[in-house]
Structure 1
Amino acid sequence: MNKKMIECKNVVYKYEDGGEGNYRLAIDDVSMDVGKGEFVVILGRNGSGKSTIAKHMNALIIPTEGKVYVDGMDTSLMENVWNIRSNAGMVFQNPDNQIVATIVEEDVAFGPENLGIEPAEIRRRVDESLKRVNMQEYKKHAPHLLSGGQKQRVAIAGVLAMRPECIIFDEPTAMLDPSGRKEVIKTIKELNKKFGITIVLITHYMEEAVEADRIIVMDSGKVIMEGSPRKIFSNVAAMKKIGLDVPQVTELAYELRKEGLDIDSDILTIDEMVDALCRLK
């Protein structure tokens, strides 16, 4: 059995920039794996290549050089694309771009209907998917009347109804207010921990990345760091050098250490900070 959900092997992606044969290198020899059931966050500034690599994982774009495999299927082969997109769903920044129907439950049914699933099974999938994202009581509502966080959860339910093994989230909270962001991240965590769905989350919010099993940091189209949230965020100086923040409490620990306080550099949460401060003599 293939234990890797996604494999990127020496991926290069160039796109035409301003015509006249000018090309820009968006992805520069990137190799990375995502294991089945893993929760991986990809971080990077705007223009780092993180969204471009995400689109490779769903066969929305094909590498200029190198290979991408989703559950062992080569994304460059046309005959695999349908299966890849059923297996690895994608949720984008703007939920309005993903919602196609005027009633929530009809929107969630859209994907399985296109797969040719029989009506009784679609009904079951719609109910189950809305339940998983805590939106079952809104199934008769009009999506355009929902909040941003609720719309994004409906978009996630629409992907879940296709029964994917993996969901790639491309900055799904970028357009949401703080409470909407919290709702969506809680939903993503539950899908991973409770239901074993492999998650790839592209974000620039450091607090969201704390929840991951592993973080991959990209800059200028390359992978420059990889490791657990604790390992990545304890490199405060290296993160700042490439224009990324770290969680606020991690930065506070970093500043306190600079002032001579004996405090761990890999603190990630407020509770850990409180414990560390209480232990100071």
Structure 2
Amino acid sequence: MSKMIEVNNIQFQYKNNDDEGMLALNDVTVTVESGEFVVVIGHNGSGKSTLAKHMNALLLPTKGDVLVKGLNTKEEENIWNIRQTAGMVFQNPDNQIVATIVEEDVAFGPENLGVPPVEIIRRVEEALNIVDMLEYRGKAPHLLSGGQKQRIAIAGVIAMRPNCIIFDEPTAMLDPSGRKEVINTIKKLNKEENITIVHITHFMEEAVDADRVIVMENGQIVLEGKPKEVFSKVEQLKELGLDVPQITDLTNELIKEGIDLPQDILTVDEMVMRLCQLK
């Protein structure tokens, strides 16, 4: 696989009035491969959203470099291409919706890129179809649910044809039903459209199906690996103030009670299968 994003030994410091700011990222190095689904978790203030904003040049590192498909975010002439390559979806969909009709909103990005009108129509239809919102194309966004609004925001990014989409806590403001809609859309983008995904979240269940999980604490990466590897470290995660998926927690409690189960169970189906295998 080729490298989509390379973060090389970056530091980032938020400045305050005294010119002495907080070090939000401290010597962070990570690579995201093309087509990969990476989830970044950590409690509030761990640096995960700050890292996300570096991945499409919304923030520039105080020290070190970020490359997006080989383009350095510090070089101003690269910004346009970087943001076409790596799109971004934020917590609040209302902050990304700019039009009064769904299809006009999805068309906004391609129009600003100078895409021909015929191609815009095709992209809007394709993007709405991918997020299962085609039937709402003529609706007003303010009449939609939170999950539906977020899917419209995602469609607006898809219509600009990025190779990578960075999701900065896109389900934080949604109810469980809306979260499920958005997570299913994210998985579909990765598996069916082969879009590279970087998903920032504090919901542990959203990391279960990732290719790789990165755990952040105090502006540094403290754990990294496949979901089964990371979530098997229950005590370490809890020491960091993080939860684990409910099934993982249940598995850990059953093991403490002497039931012979592996520590890396992440889903209900896995749990049922393992329990049925016990004699």
TM-score of the superposed pair, with normalisation by structure 1: 0.98
**Distance in 2, Cα, partners of 1:130 & 1:23:** 42
Give the secondary-structure state (helix, strand or coil) at the position aligned to 1:195.
coil
Over aligned residue pairs, what C-alpha RMSD do you find? 0.8
Superimposed CA distance per residue, residues 29-79 of structure 1 (whole angstroms, 9 cap, x where no aligned partner): 000000000000000000000000000001000000000000110000000
**Alpha-carbon distance, 1:259 to partner:** 1.4
Q: State the partner residue of 1:7.
A: 6
Q: State the partner residue of 2:15.
A: 16
Superimposed CA distance per residue, residues 195-254 of structure 1 (whole angstroms, 9 cap, x where no aligned partner): 100000000101110010000100000000100000000000010000011111111111
Give the secondary-structure state (helix, strand or coil) at the position aligned to 1:89.
strand
Paired AA for residue 246 in structure 1: V
How does 1:201-240 map onto structure 2 within 5 Å? 201-240=199-238
Equivalent pairs counted in the alignment come to: 279
Q: State the partner residue of 1:120.
A: 118
Give the secondary-structure state (helix, strand or coil) at the position aligned to 1:41.
strand
Q: State the partner residue of 2:247.
A: 249
Counterpart selection for 1:30 from 28, 38, 50:
28
Paired AA for residue 3 in structure 1: S
**Distance in 2, Cα, partners of 1:123 & 1:220:** 45
**Distance in 2, Cα, partners of 1:16 & 1:59:** 18
**Distance in 2, Cα, partners of 1:4 & 1:166:** 11
Q: Percent of pairs identical after alignment?
A: 66
Q: State the partner residue of 2:180.
A: 182
Paired AA for residue 112 in structure 1: P
Give the secondary-structure state (helix, strand or coil) at the position aligned to 1:154.
helix
Q: State the partner residue of 1:275.
A: 273
**Distance in 2, Cα, partners of 1:110 & 1:166:** 19
Give the secondary-structure state (helix, strand or coil) at the position aligned to 1:5.
strand
**Distance in 2, Cα, partners of 1:259 & 1:228:** 26
TM-score of the superposed pair, with normalisation by structure 2: 0.99
Superimposed CA distance per residue, residues 169-193 of structure 1 (whole angstroms, 9 cap, x where no aligned partner): 0000000010100000000000000
Paired AA for residue 91 in structure 2: Q
**Distance in 2, Cα, partners of 1:20 & 1:180:** 42
**Alpha-carbon distance, 1:21 to partner:** 2.3
Q: State the partner residue of 1:133.
A: 131
Q: State the partner residue of 2:170.
A: 172
**Distance in 1, Cα, partners of 2:222 & 2:114:** 43
Paired AA for residue 80 in structure 1: N
**Distance in 1, Cα, partners of 2:136 & 2:102:** 7
Counterpart selection for 2:39 from 38, 41, 62:
41
**Alpha-carbon distance, 1:16 to partner:** 1.3
Paired AA for residue 100 in structure 2: T
Paired AA for residue 168 in structure 1: I
Paired AA for residue 23 in structure 1: G
Give the secondary-structure state (helix, strand or coil) at the position aligned to 1:25.
strand
Give the secondary-structure state (helix, strand or coil) at the position aligned to 2:192.
helix
Paired AA for residue 200 in structure 1: V
Q: Work out whether 1:54 is the aligned partner of 2:42.
A: no
Paired AA for residue 68 in structure 1: V
Give the secondary-structure state (helix, strand or coil) at the position aligned to 1:9.
strand
Paired AA for residue 9 in structure 1: N
Superimposed CA distance per residue, residues 116-148 of structure 1 (whole angstroms, 9 cap, x where no aligned partner): 111000000000000000000000000000000
**Distance in 1, Cα, partners of 2:21 & 2:156:** 36
- Return 5+ residue gaps in structure 2 as ranges: none
**Distance in 2, Cα, partners of 1:23 & 1:186:** 38
